């Protein structure tokens, strides 16, 4: 009895339909990126393990697939890891050539990534991620413009998939706003790093785990009350949140800052046709020890799935990798949650498999002439002087069945989704012609064999 193998847990096999959906998602990401002026890059599938330690600290190691290289002649080995994200690779690449790269740097990538974690709904060990980054902009005005351009690109891609503000929401926050919030809650500035760490994880921690952190960090009773209200999901925008916390008039300053920022975001996104997508959410932190300003997540508006995308401003990253000071903002969007959301909202195409342009119906005694015609249809016109394709070849197919019954073959042609059928039959072929049939309208006409290819190209271009 032969062995039967399954794909490793947390990975996927991409059969034709699944692969077509994957390409549909990737092609949409790529199309919208280019339309917004971004160019595509990529890097190694694995990097030195220390590259990820620089960005995320030693705790990241347990979340990675990492391995040791074979020893060289001196017995030295290297430690590598499969990439869990693209941002460290991007930072390394930019740091090396930062001074030679035109600003702003607008890059995107669609890498395959890996994480050594237990798989859950929307979170696998192997996934595809759309990574978008914009580097440059030294003034506060330029930074805000790039922040919102990044967020708008993210939303524009989701809108390209047919999603609306009823399906997804862009939830935003800002490091300066969170620090103001901590100040109101009585958190001393020297403990902000701990507060960012706690707030980023607070919804996932049990009361016992939170109390342990409070004790270990000598958190005051006022701070405990503040964090427990956040853990319970209470909104700091409500005056009731601040009862017994003594925020006073500073609460009004906090809410004014949010209202002003929200107005700017609404005005800018509204001008881009993206009104109604964005709102402030105090729980969006995204590890603000790493992010330096604006942060956002795009969430399922019905709250049924994990975040679809997330990102923000990280102005110190390039320096961390030995490059110059260079402001940066970006985001990532994984294919797993996105595909789940698109499927739940019925936004995926009924079939993403490519449909042929032409189906050759061959009723001739042998396949020679059909083979010749297929080659002519598929051939691209190449211009050697311009080193470019002037006219791409067509997606053309024929039947693999042995039948010469034209009716059955035309039925197969219609089922293939082809736009045209070329019918090669003995009587017409003896006169040097074939029938060209529009499979949608069922109209057909005789066309000289030599004119079939240019006439189909002309009809498809109309």
- pLDDT at residue 248, rounded to an integer: 66
Phi, psi of 372, rounded to the nearest 5 degrees: -65, -45
Highest mean pLDDT among 281-290, 298-307, 438-447: 438-447
CATH says 358-461 is which class? alpha beta
3-state secondary structure of 130: strand
pLDDT digits (tens, 9 = 90+) for 74-101: 889 999 999 999 999 999 999 999 999 9
To which H or E segment does residue 334 belong? strand 328-334
Using 50, 70 and 90 to split pLDDT, how confident is the model at 328? Answer: very high
Q: Is the pLDDT of residue 403 over 80?
A: yes
pLDDT digits (tens, 9 = 90+) for 411-422: 999 999 999 999
Alpha helices in 85-206 (DSSP H): 87-97, 140-160, 175-184, 192-201
Using 50, 70 and 90 to split pLDDT, how confident is the model at 186? Answer: confident
Question: What average pLDDT does the segment 323-330 reach?
Answer: 95
pLDDT digits (tens, 9 = 90+) for 16-25: 999 999 999 9
Q: Is the pLDDT of residue 287 over 80?
A: no
Domain ranges across the chain: 358-461
DSSP per-residue letters across 139-171: SHHHHHHHHHHHHHHHHHHHHHTT--TTTEEEE
- How far is residue 226's CA from residue 182's CA, in Å, rounded to a whole number? 9
Q: Is the pLDDT of residue 1 over 60?
A: no
Q: Is the pLDDT of residue 342 over 90?
A: yes
Question: What average pLDDT does the segment 210-234 reach?
Answer: 88
What sign does the dihedral 118-120-126-128 (CA atoms) show? Answer: negative
Average pLDDT taken over every residue of the chain: 92
Q: What single DSSP character describes residue 71?
A: P
Question: What average pLDDT does the segment 26-50 reach?
Answer: 97
- pLDDT at residue 288, rounded to an integer: 59
- How far is residue 284's CA from residue 3's CA, in Å, rounded to a whole number? 47
Percent of the chain scoring above 90 in pLDDT:
69
pLDDT digits (tens, 9 = 90+) for 130-163: 999 999 998 999 999 999 999 999 999 999 999 9
- pLDDT at residue 231, rounded to an integer: 86
Instruction: Give CA separation, 88 vs 46, 93, 104, 293, in Å.
Output: 11, 9, 18, 19
Using 50, 70 and 90 to split pLDDT, how confident is the model at 260? Answer: very high
Percent of the chain scoring above 70 in pLDDT:
98
pTM of the model: 0.90
Structure tokens at 348: 């995926």
Question: What average pLDDT does the segment 341-345 reach?
Answer: 95
Phi, psi of 129, rounded to the nearest 5 degrees: -130, 130
């Amino acid at each position: 009895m032969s062995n039967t193998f399954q794909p490793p847990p947390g990975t996927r096999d991409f059969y034709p339909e699944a692969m077509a959906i994957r390409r549909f998602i990737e092609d949409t990401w790529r199309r919208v990126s280019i339309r917004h002026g971004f160019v595509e890059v990529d890097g190694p599938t694995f990097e030195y393990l220390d590259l990820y330690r620089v960005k995320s600290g030693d705790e990241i190691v347990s979340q990675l697939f990492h391995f040791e290289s074979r020893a060289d002649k001196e017995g030295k080995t290297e430690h590598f890891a499969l990439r869990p994200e693209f941002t460290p690779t991007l930072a390394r690449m930019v740091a090396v050539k930062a001074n030679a790269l035109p600003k702003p740097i607008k890059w995107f990538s669609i890498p395959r990534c890996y994480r050594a974690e237990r798989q859950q709904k929307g979170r696998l060990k192997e996934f595809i991620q759309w990574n978008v980054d914009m580097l440059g902009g030294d003034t506060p005005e330029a930074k805000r413009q790039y922040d919102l351009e990044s967020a708008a690109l993210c939303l524009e891609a989701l809108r390209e998939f047919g999603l609306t503000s009823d399906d997804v929401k862009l939830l935003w926050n800002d490091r300066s706003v969170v620090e103001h919030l901590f100040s109101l809650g009585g958190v001393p500035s020297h403990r902000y790093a701990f507060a960012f760490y706690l707030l980023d994880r607070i919804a996932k921690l049990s009361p016992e785990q939170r109390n342990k952190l409070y004790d270990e960090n000598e958190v005051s009773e006022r701070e405990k009350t503040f964090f427990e209200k956040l853990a319970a999901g209470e909104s700091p925008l409500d005056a009731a949140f601040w009862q017994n916390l003594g925020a006073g008039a500073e609460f009004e300053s906090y809410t004014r800052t949010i209202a002003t920022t929200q107005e700017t975001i609404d005005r800018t996104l509204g001008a881009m046709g993206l009104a109604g997508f964005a709102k402030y959410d105090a729980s969006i932190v995204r590890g603000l020890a790493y992010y330096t300003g604006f942060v956002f997540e795009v969430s399922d508006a019905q709250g049924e799935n994990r975040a679809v995308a997330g990102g923000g401003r990280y102005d110190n990253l390039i320096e961390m990798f030995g490059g110059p000071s260079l402001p940066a903002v970006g985001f990532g969007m994984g294919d797993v949650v996105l595909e789940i959301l698109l499927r739940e909202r019925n936004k995926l195409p009924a079939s993403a498999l490519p449909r042929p342009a032409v189906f050759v119906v061959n009723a001739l005694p042998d396949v020679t002439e059909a083979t010749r015609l297929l080659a002519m249809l598929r051939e691209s016109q190449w211009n050697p002087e311009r080193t470019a394709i002037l006219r791409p070849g067509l997606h053309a197919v024929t039947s693999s069945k042995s039948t010469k019954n034209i009716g059955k073959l035309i039925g197969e042609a219609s089922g293939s989704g082809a736009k045209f059928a070329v019918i090669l039959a003995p009587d017409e072929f003896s006169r040097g012609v074939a029938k060209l049939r529009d499979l949608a309208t069922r109209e057909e006409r005789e066309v000289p064999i030599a004119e079939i290819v240019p006439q189909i190209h002309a009809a498809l271009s109309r």
